[in-house]
Amino acid sequence: MQKVLIVEDDDAILNLIRVNLAAEGYLCACAADGKTAADRLENETFDLILLDIMLPEINGYELLEYIRPTGTPVIFLSAKSGVDDRIRGLKLGADDYIAKPFQIGELLARVEALLRRCGRHSRRLIFADVEIDLPSRTVRKAGQEVELTVKEFDLLVELIQNKNVALYRERLYEKVWGEPYMGDTRTLDSHIQRLRRKLDWDRYIRTVFRIGYRLEEGK
């Protein structure tokens, strides 16, 4: 599922976009001003950003400067419909420029085209405040990168892919270590603990006594 950030201060337009993107199966995040958007960008990554130019606080151009180094594709949305505005937006680094008022169908088509091109099937997992990008093997908690070792990372992925399932120690071990579980060592437990500590996840990684562990959604 692709994740799109919509930065737009006009409620009506924001909702129009949000509803339509959601209906197409995109995961939407919204920000009504530049500051809020900057905060979210600090803490999350997106597959695409729809960016209004005229915003309170920080405007779209400034925000673009900030986004550019991350390589995230951006489509400008703007009431400024002049050719010069379009050229300026594109030259500054936007990937597309849609003038308001626009037809929602065209916006959807342009979003689709851009994501198709960017090929970012950026397979990622999200659980609670933690975001995992599989190809790059990076983990971010509340936007902050957390350094995990190979085993920790693989274990985390295995847990998230089976959230809310009580995983037997045998199964976990065999999946992550790729060899049969002999029991009677503290290996798995130690790694679970390291994960709990690094992610501050005591509340999510629950021990299932005599069985194994379960990554639990909800509180």
Give the angle 161-71-88 at the CA atoms, nearest 5°: 145
- When asked if residue 177 is in the footprint of DNA (CB under 7 A), the reply is yes
Report the interface residues with a copy of itself, using CB under 8 A.
69-71, 73, 83-84, 86-87, 90-91, 93-96, 103, 105-106, 109-110, 112-114, 116-118, 133, 135-138, 149-150, 163-166, 208-211, 214, 216-219
Alpha carbon distance 112, 62 (integer Å)? 25
* Shortest distance, position 157 Cβ to a copy of itself, whole Å: 13
Question: Do residues 201 and 191 touch, judged by C-beta distance below 8 A?
Answer: no
Residue 29 contacts which entry, DNA, a copy of itself, none (Cβ below 5-8 A, type-dependent):
none
* Shortest distance, position 127 Cβ to DNA, whole Å: 18
Helix (H) or strand (E) holding 49: strand 48-52
Pairing of strands 74-78, 48-52: parallel
* Shortest distance, position 138 Cβ to DNA, whole Å: 13
| Contacts of 61 by beta carbon, 8 Å cutoff, 6+ apart | 53, 92
* Shortest distance, position 169 Cβ to a copy of itself, whole Å: 13
